[in-house]
Amino acid sequence: MNEACCSNRWFLRHNLKKGLWIMLFYQEINQFTHKLRRVLLLLFGIWILLAVVLIFLDLPLSIFLVNTNSSWAKFVALYGEIPGHIVISISIFVLLRDRLTDPNWSQNPVFWFCLILNSVFMANILLTFFPQYNVELKYGLILTGFVVIGQFIIIMRLREVEMLSDQKYTRFAKISLIMAIINPLLFVQTTKLLWGRTRYRDLTGDYQEFTPWLFPQGMTGHKSFPSGHTAMGWMVLPLLFLLPKTGRIRWVFQGLIISWGIFIAFGRIVIGAHYVSDVLFSTGMAFLVYIILVNHKKPNDSQTKPSTNEHS
């Protein structure tokens, strides 16, 4: 009889705590969505206003701004995506290092696949600076092999570095990779394919091929809308997550990060590769995804989950 009573009491306590955990979870979600909603509504309002205006001003702005001989815009075209690629590569690197906590890491095919994939990624970045070697596959394969070995050695050396065990770096890596998948990969590449918008530099003298961003043209082979370079330029946004919450350092680096994204976007307009609306949509999606990911917090399980010794 006593055992049944104890069992019932434990069952009630267990379910009450479970119910409390669920209530706290939904409370956390509601607080998160309430704060986020106000920020997003403001940004969305500004974005909508600009998008509507650009239906009419896209072409005139490009006519006014484009200078295909601009040296700095050519620099953006060649190297503007590299910082974003580096952020993605570092993020993969951080997550690979985290996998070493698993005692069976060496038998995990995902670890080796990601190591090789990241090495190819890093080798491609390095070859950007040496285009004379980018014409033959053998140079790429040799460089990738060296990068695989070098990256593995560095990961093994850093596996015991306590600072890198901070969950802040893991979260930064996850935010960066999710953002890279959603914006530059899925949103930009899919929309480019379906929209078929002709780039300004490919227009003829009478601008007959120009179409406002509002009207998709289908799979024409043209890929102006939206801007991939701009999406990659804003891949530096997750670095804000690593900055101090307040202070001069945050303001300085925050200014540099925002300035870099604007620099890349403007460079793509000046070189004639994109219209203002192309970079507007890539920028809007980058900030939307970043704000949602950074503000998403899981409830503290340690405070709400029932103790494993509750029934003893």
243: number of CA atoms within 13 Å, CB side? 19
**Residue of higher predicted confidence among 70 and 19:** 70
Question: Can you tell me the distance from the alpha carbon of 82 to that of 90, in angstroms, rounded to the nearest whole number?
Answer: 12
Q: How confident is the model at residue 41 (pLDDT cuts 50, 70, 90)?
A: confident
Nearest to 54 by CA among 215, 189, 262, 184: 215
pLDDT at residue 44, as a whole number: 84
Please tell me what DSSP assigns to residue 102: S
Please tell me what DSSP assigns to residue 215: S
User: Is the confidence at residue 136, as pLDDT, over 50?
Assistant: yes
User: Is the confidence at residue 68, as pLDDT, over 50?
Assistant: yes
- Cβ neighbours, 10 Å, residue 276: 23
User: Is the confidence at residue 89, as pLDDT, over 50?
Assistant: yes
User: Is the confidence at residue 271, as pLDDT, over 80?
Assistant: yes
Q: Compute the average pLDDT of residues 32-48.
A: 77
Which tokens sit at 239?
A: 């670095």
Q: Compute the average pLDDT of residues 158-173.
A: 70
Percentage of the chain with pLDDT > 90?
43
Q: ∠ CA 224-240-33 to the nearest 5 degrees?
A: 85
User: Is the confidence at residue 124, as pLDDT, over 90?
Assistant: no
pLDDT at residue 158, as a whole number: 62
**Residue of higher predicted confidence among 288 and 167:** 288
User: Is the confidence at residue 251, as pLDDT, over 70?
Assistant: yes
pTM for this model (two decimals) = 0.76
Q: How confident is the model at residue 309 (pLDDT cuts 50, 70, 90)?
A: very low
Q: How confident is the model at residue 295 (pLDDT cuts 50, 70, 90)?
A: confident
Q: What is the pLDDT of residues 184-235, one digit of tens each?
A: 999 999 999 999 999 999 998 889 999 999 999 999 999 999 999 999 999 9
Q: Compute the average pLDDT of residues 131-149.
A: 63
Q: ∠ CA 82-85-86 to the nearest 5 degrees?
A: 90
**Residue of higher predicted confidence among 261 and 167:** 261
pLDDT at residue 14, as a whole number: 54
Per-domain boundaries in the chain: 35-81+178-296
pLDDT at residue 123, as a whole number: 72
Percentage of the chain with pLDDT > 70?
68
pLDDT at residue 102, as a whole number: 67
Question: Can you tell me the distance from the alpha carbon of 293 to that of 299, in angstroms, rounded to the nearest whole number?
Answer: 15
Q: How confident is the model at residue 114 (pLDDT cuts 50, 70, 90)?
A: confident
pLDDT at residue 312, as a whole number: 35
pLDDT at residue 192, as a whole number: 95
Question: Can you tell me the distance from the alpha carbon of 145 to that of 138, in angstroms, rounded to the nearest whole number?
Answer: 11
Average pLDDT over the chain, rounded to an integer: 79
Task: Yes or no: say if 265 and 227 are a contact pair by the CB < 8 Å rule.
Answer: yes
Which tokens sit at 131?
A: 């285009």
